[in-house]
């Protein structure tokens, strides 16, 4: 569109008045929004840089394979890494069937009535409960009432409960993405409801469910408060071999090193944070790869 | 939308199961390292640590944690006992101890009557107390503070009850600036100890002010005082020795003149009322029936002075140490 400049009679493509103001605002908004985005990225990069700068020099095979120690330069992550993998592995095994089962029931089987509304409301609320509350619940229910002690199993049950709302909601979303035509087709050909779910809906929803799971596990990986609450230890000088043993995890070890007065221990904490970040990033990467693979097919 | 088929997702489910399994498998592939206990025949009153096995749990004060960790670490090298150490706070430690969940409880203050009652309710009446080291609290000010050298207990009391809010409230010669307070959180034994010695020690009915910055993390307190010319805070002496050197330690007048906090003054008892004993607790029945607990306690008392000093606390005098060690003797073979 062309504008005619009243004083010179020339034709220019430059907007004037209110239009120009609107266009300038539009141009500026782009940079304001970009700046907003960069705040988060900048903080993350700065934190990452600080951590690597402080702890990078401490990272070594020895650091990963030695037990905790009162000498910061000898202390390592061995028992906490092993305890961590135990707890997370069991958490996944415990949470998956319950989460998928719940989601299938809610999406495919549940009568659309007050019970379902109640369950949905419950889930939405549970998703917002702070982790320390799950810790208190775990202490009362698993550690004391069920008499599991502050064991790997008690820790996994607590974390499984904690990530349940997230995983159920993610699984529901994934199941909802499967088009209704597939369900109708299956039912029209005489499949039972269960056959339809098992053979058609679930396979289609699987990538989404897995992505949600992996993201939930990366949240559980960083959990400290709930585990300290159920009585996870800090100094453990052996390798866990059974789910009934006492344990410690990487985040608990980081917390312990952070509150020690010696600078060397805080370098250890930074090094352990790098290990934790690499682990969580790897998990998120796996989730992204799964998503992409199935989107492209 | 691609038509989903079971075939395409089978590998996925399999992969998922594999990932979970491999977590556990990786975790399980660790094998036990055998401690190589020296094989020497014990004399009377001695214990052959190498023959000990089993496991025990230690929990409680985060102030005592570094000592307990050091002892557990050394003891693991001498014996096959698994010693797990946590730090859920002095109160938390006693709670678990009275529920029978742990064998040894660390404490940065003596056990209180209501804790003894809670233990008795569970049928635990044979509690034994051992002092393992001395901790001193240090009162610190900003290094730019050029007027404050020494505080009386009464002045400290006035500052931390909130009665005095400006420096000139405690001494007319001091400037008319607000005091910026930093103190540990209410969960810490350090806070409890300060309240007992300074706040309630002067006036039974007084309470610690909440006006200031409270943190369980000594680093936060130290940085707070460093960052404010009018800052005043307190924390453990070990922390001051390690990380508080850019702060100014304030001498304390407990009625006998001003005494600087130091290893010497804490040990000879002249730094009062801010040096305190640190304790561990266990039960007589454990010492009688559980060789691994007896071994651990014996090892603890034999090495506490060396290890406490290593992690920044004040070791016990010879007399006091001997007094603690005699508590174990009746149970030795």
Residue A242 has which token pair? 């059974």
Interface of B with A in 76-135 (CB under 8 A): 76, 82-88, 96, 99, 101
* A155 and B CB contact within 8 Å: no
With tokens 């039912």, the residue in question is A187
Write the DSSP string, A152-179.
HHHHHHHHHHHHHHHHHHHHHHHHHHS-
Q: Which H/E stretch holds residue B253?
A: strand B251-253
The DSSP output letter for A151 is B
Q: CA-CA distance, A161 to A95, in Å (whole number)?
A: 7
Is residue A15 packed enough to be buried (19+ CB in 10 Å), middle (13-18) or exposed (0-12)?
middle
Reference B156, options B166, B170, B142, B168; nearest CA is B170
* B136 and A CB contact within 8 Å: no
Reference B157, options B78, B227, B254, B72; nearest CA is B254
* B38 and A CB contact within 8 Å: no
Residues facing residue B156 across a β-bridge: none
Q: CA-CA distance, B195 to B190, in Å (whole number)?
A: 9
| 8 Å CB contact between B277 and B106 | no
Give pLDDT, residue B38.
42
Of A78, A204, A237, the CB nearest to B73: A237
* B5 and A CB contact within 8 Å: yes
* Residue range B107-142, pLDDT digits in tens: 988 999 999 999 999 999 999 999 999 988 899 999
Residue A99 has which token pair? 């989460």
Which chain B residue is nearest to residue A257, measuring alpha carbons? Answer: B66
Instruction: Return all residues near A111 (Cβ < 8 A) that are at least 6 apart.
Output: none
Give pLDDT, residue A169.
92
Count of beta carbons in the 10 Å neighbourhood of residue B99 = 13
The DSSP output letter for A200 is I
Of B3, B86, B239, the CB nearest to A261: B239
Q: Provide the CB-side half-sphere exposure for A93 (13 A, CA).
A: 18
Instruction: Return all residues near A40 (Cβ < 8 A) that are at least 6 apart.
Output: none
Average pLDDT value for residue range B306-324: 87
Backbone angles phi, psi at A186, to 5 degrees: -60, -45
Q: pLDDT per position in chain A (297 positions), as tens?
A: 555 555 666 677 777 888 888 988 998 999 999 999 999 999 999 999 999 999 999 999 999 999 999 888 999 999 999 999 999 999 999 999 999 999 999 998 888 888 888 988 888 888 889 999 999 999 999 999 999 999 999 999 999 999 999 999 999 999 999 999 999 999 999 999 999 999 999 998 988 998 899 989 999 999 999 999 898 999 999 999 999 999 999 999 999 898 877 778 889 999 999 999 999 999 999 988 988 887 765
Residue B288 has which token pair? 């009688």
Helix A78-104, helix A202-221: angle, nearest 10 = 140
* A276 and B CB contact within 8 Å: no
Interface test with B, best of A54, A208, A231 (most B CBs within 10 A): A231
Judged by average pLDDT, the poorest of A182-186, B93-97, B122-126, B262-266 is B262-266
Q: CA-CA distance, B65 to B311, in Å (whole number)?
A: 10
CB A93 to CB B6 under 8 A? no
Give pLDDT, residue B36.
42
In angstroms, the separation between the Cα of residue A107 and the nearest Cα of chain B is 18
* B21 and A CB contact within 8 Å: yes
* A256 and B CB contact within 8 Å: yes
Cα distances from A56 to residues A6, A65, A77, A165, A219, in angstroms, run 67, 16, 15, 36, 23
| 8 Å CB contact between B240 and B228 | no
* Residue range A204-235, pLDDT digits in tens: 898 899 889 998 999 999 999 999 989 899 99
């Amino acid at each position: 569109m062309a504008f005619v400049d009243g004083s010179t009679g020339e034709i220019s493509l430059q907007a004037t008045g209110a239009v120009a103001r609107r266009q300038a605002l539009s141009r500026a908004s782009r940079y304001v929004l970009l700046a907003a985005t960069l705040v988060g990225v900048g903080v993350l990069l700065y934190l990452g840089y600080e951590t690597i700068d402080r702890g990078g020099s401490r990272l070594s095979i020895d650091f990963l394979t030695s037990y905790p120690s009162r000498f910061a330069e000898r202390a390592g992550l061995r028992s906490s890494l092993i305890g961590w993998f135990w707890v997370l592995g069991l958490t996944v095994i415990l949470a998956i069937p319950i989460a998928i089962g719940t989601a299938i029931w809610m999406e495919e089987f549940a009568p659309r009535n007050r019970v379902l509304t109640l369950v949905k409301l419950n889930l939405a609320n549970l998703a917002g409960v702070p982790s320390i509350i799950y810790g208190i619940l775990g202490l009362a229910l698993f550690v004391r009432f069920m008499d599991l002690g502050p064991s790997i199993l008690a820790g996994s049950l607590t974390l499984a409960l904690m990530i349940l709302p997230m995983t159920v909601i993610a699984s529901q979303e994934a199941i909802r993405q499967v088009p209704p035509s597939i369900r109708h087709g299956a039912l029209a050909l005489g499949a039972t409801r269960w056959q339809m779910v098992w053979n058609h809906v679930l396979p289609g929803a699987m990538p989404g469910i897995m992505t949600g799971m992996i993201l939930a596990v990366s949240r559980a990986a960083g959990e400290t408060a709930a585990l300290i609450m159920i009585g996870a230890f800090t100094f453990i000088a052996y390798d866990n071999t059974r789910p009934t043993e006492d344990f410690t995890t990487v985040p608990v070890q980081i917390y312990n090193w952070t509150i020690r007065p010696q600078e060397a221990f805080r370098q250890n904490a930074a090094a352990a944070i790098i290990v934790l970040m690499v682990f969580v990033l790897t998990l998120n990467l796996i989730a992204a790869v799964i998503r992409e693979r199935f989107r492209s097919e | 939308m691609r038509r989903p088929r079971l075939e395409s997702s089978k590998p996925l489910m399999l992969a998922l199961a594999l990932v979970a399994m491999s977590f556990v498998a990786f975790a399980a592939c660790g094998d036990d390292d055998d401690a190589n206990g020296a094989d020497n025949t014990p004399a009377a009153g001695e214990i052959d640590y190498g023959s000990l096995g089993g496991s025990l749990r230690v929990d409680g004060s985060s102030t005592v944690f570094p000592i307990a960790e050091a002892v557990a670490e050394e003891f693991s090298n001498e014996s096959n006992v698994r010693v797990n150490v946590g730090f859920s706070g002095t109160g938390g430690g006693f709670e678990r101890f009275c529920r029978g969940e742990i064998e040894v409880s660390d404490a940065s203050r003596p056990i209180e009557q209501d804790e003894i009652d809670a233990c008795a309710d569970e049928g635990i009446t044979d509690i034994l107390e051992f002092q393992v080291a001395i901790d001193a609290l240090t009162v610190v000010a900003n290094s730019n503070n050029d007027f404050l050298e020494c505080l009386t207990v009464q002045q400290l009391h006035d500052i931390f009850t909130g009665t005095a809010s400006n420096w000139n409230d405690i001494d007319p010669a001091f400037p008319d600036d607000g005091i910026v307070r930093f103190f540990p959180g209410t969960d810490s034994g350090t806070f409890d100890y300060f309240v007992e010695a300074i706040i309630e020690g002067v006036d039974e009915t007084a309470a610690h002010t909440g006006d200031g910055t409270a943190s369980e993390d000594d680093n936060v307190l130290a940085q707070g005082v460093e960052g404010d010319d009018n800052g005043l805070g307190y924390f453990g002496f070990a922390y001051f020795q390690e990380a508080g050197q850019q702060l100014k330690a304030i001498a304390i007048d407990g009625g006998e003149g001003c005494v600087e906090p130091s290893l010497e003054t804490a040990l000879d008892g002249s730094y009062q009322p801010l040096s305190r004993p640190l304790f561990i607790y266990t039960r007589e029945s454990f010492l009688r029936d559980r060789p691994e607990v007896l071994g651990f306690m014996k090892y603890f008392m034999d090495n506490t002075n060396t290890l406490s000093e290593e992690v920044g606390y004040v070791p016990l005098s010879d007399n006091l140490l001997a007094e603690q060690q005699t508590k174990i003797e009746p149970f030795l073979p």
